[in-house]
Structure 1
Amino acid sequence: MDDVEVPAFQRARRPEQRELRRQEILDAAEALLAEMPAEEISLRELGRRLGVSKTHVVRYFESREGVFLELLNRLRLSWLEAALASEWPAPPCEPDGVMQAWADSLAARPVLCQLWSLLPSVLERNVSAGTVRAYKLIDLEHRTTLANLISDRIPALGADDALTLTRHAVVSLVGLWPFSNPAPAVVEATADPRLAGSRVDFATMYGEILQTTLASLLARAK
């Protein structure tokens, strides 16, 4: 097949080779997620994209969900690095503007949002407790970085409340993303002008949710 990538090596023996192969698998998964829903991607499809067998992929990840969990970590870190570098306004900031920048920066990363929204229903299943524990420790590290980023821009929000905000934000994303990316039949149905209120724009509504949650936390702090 013309679109099959040729592996750089058939068997990874050294640690750097194993890490390179893991990154190749994550790259393939990210490319596939830009083309089709996560639910339609199998280990066999990942192997086909790389020109290797399903068994070969399992040498590096215990399951499809294990691949997606690690990819979620990688994409979230990339998002945080971009936010820290330039995408979010520099302090001092207007709080609602910070929340909207958060929403807009995520809306620009649909693969990250898709994976994040599948965390409780898909990604945390068919994986070992050790894999979930490792994921959650990295998630906590990333959310702490995010909380610090928020606190720097909104000093009135304490560190604990900033971390609480990140928890609410994840739960909100899990619920909102599917509503803002509905199935074709739903898109067709809500084209009816009478159902205009049923259509959901992710960046707009997520920004509103973040702003409302932030306002509640700030009021409680007072």
Structure 2
Amino acid sequence: MTPFQRARSDEQRLVRRQNILRTAAEMLAEMPVSALSLNELSRRVGLAKSNVLRYFESREAVLLDLLEESAREFLDEVGEPLRAQVDPSATLDARTVAVASGAAAAFAARPMLCELLSAQAGVLEHNISVDVATRYKQGARDSLLGFAALLRHLFPELDRPRSEQGANLVIVMIGGLWTHCHPAPAVRAVYDADPSFAFMDTKFEDALRGSLCVLLAGLVTGPAPLT
């Protein structure tokens, strides 16, 4: 363990926070959220747990910061390519398929983001203070509003309430599908042993693409959202 040296400046504190976040991201490439412990994170960062807690109040606070950062990067990286691959003069059905396919592929290429979204409400938003929850929700709100604006660009038929409802539902959908498409070992063994369960054993990208097609079509042509 490297002897702890207090960060003396805002820049040094930022560097240390970013190192903690980067290490957590590396761990999530190896393990699910449920297996990531503050003890192991501290060991890999090279600090005592008490010193990591100087920068983040809990494991959940670390992962919420990582989720906010990942969501912001997703929007920055995916928005323009998605606009480029959708022909605004195409039929509604064609645009729906194009957007659903592009968005599903983009999310599937970012497993850490999907893993964090799957744990957001049930795990990560617990064991945190009101201050951390407020800061996280402010960032999440900005990302959702940005995603809603992207949906309105791709589907001019959508008004703001429908696009915001859609952005929220996409995030909920991803969290649920990611969990169900990555079953526990015992459930995986059941699926592999009995072909009658094949319809329940869906690949994440395929399941998300199909679900997005249904959601997007419903948002554009269905009744106005309840308020």
Length-normalised TM-score, structure 2: 0.90
Aligned partners of 2:82 and 2:99 also within 8 Å? no
Aligned partner of 1:215 in structure 2 is 217
Question: Which whole-Å CA distance do the structure 1 matches of 2:6 and 2:57 have between them?
Answer: 17
Number of paired residues?
217
The gaps in structure 1 that reach 5 residues or longer are: none
> How has the CA–CA distance of structure 1 residues 153 and 51 changed in structure 2, closer, same or farther, with 3 Å as cutoff?
same
Aligned partners of 2:86 and 2:98 also within 8 Å? no
> SS in structure 1 opposite 2:222?
helix
Aligned partners of 1:72 and 1:112 also within 8 Å? yes
Question: Which whole-Å CA distance do the structure 1 matches of 2:213 and 2:132 have between them?
Answer: 33
Matches for 1:16-55 after TM superposition, within 5 Å = 16-55=11-50
Aligned partners of 2:86 and 2:154 also within 8 Å? yes
Question: Which whole-Å CA distance do the structure 2 matches of 1:125 and 1:100 have between them?
Answer: 33
Question: Which whole-Å CA distance do the structure 1 matches of 2:87 and 2:135 have between them?
Answer: 33
Aligned partner of 2:197 in structure 1 is 195
The 10-residue stretch of structure 1 (206-215 or 121-130) with the greater mean CA deviation from structure 2: 206-215
The alignment yields a C-alpha RMSD, in angstroms, of: 1.9
- How far has the Cα of 1:147 moved from its partner? 1.0
Aligned partners of 1:148 and 1:162 also within 8 Å? yes
- How far has the Cα of 1:197 moved from its partner? 1.1
Aligned partner of 1:68 in structure 2 is 63
Aligned AA (1:22): R
- How far has the Cα of 1:72 moved from its partner? 0.2
Matches for 1:48-197 after TM superposition, within 5 Å = 48-86=43-81, 89-92=85-88, 94-191=95-192, 192-197=194-199
Question: Which whole-Å CA distance do the structure 1 matches of 2:87 and 2:155 have between them?
Answer: 8
Aligned AA (1:71): L
Question: Which whole-Å CA distance do the structure 2 matches of 1:173 and 1:214 have between them?
Answer: 14
Could you list the per-position Cα deviations for residues 165-203 of structure 1 after superposition, in whole angstroms to 9, with x for gaps in the alignment?
011111112211111011122111101212111202111
Question: Which whole-Å CA distance do the structure 1 matches of 2:221 and 2:155 have between them?
Answer: 13
Aligned partner of 1:12 in structure 2 is 7
Length-normalised TM-score, structure 1: 0.91
Question: Which whole-Å CA distance do the structure 2 matches of 1:211 and 1:195 have between them?
Answer: 24
Aligned AA (1:114): E
**Structure 1: which 4+ aligned runs deviate by more than 6 Å?**
none
Question: Which whole-Å CA distance do the structure 2 matches of 1:13 and 1:179 have between them?
Answer: 45
Could you list the per-position Cα deviations for residues 104-131 of structure 1 after superposition, in whole angstroms to 9, with x for gaps in the alignment?
1001111110001101110000001111
- How far has the Cα of 1:90 moved from its partner? 4.8
The 10-residue stretch of structure 1 (201-210 or 22-31) with the greater mean CA deviation from structure 2: 201-210
The 10-residue stretch of structure 1 (21-30 or 209-218) with the greater mean CA deviation from structure 2: 209-218
- How far has the Cα of 1:221 moved from its partner? 5.8
Aligned AA (2:67): L
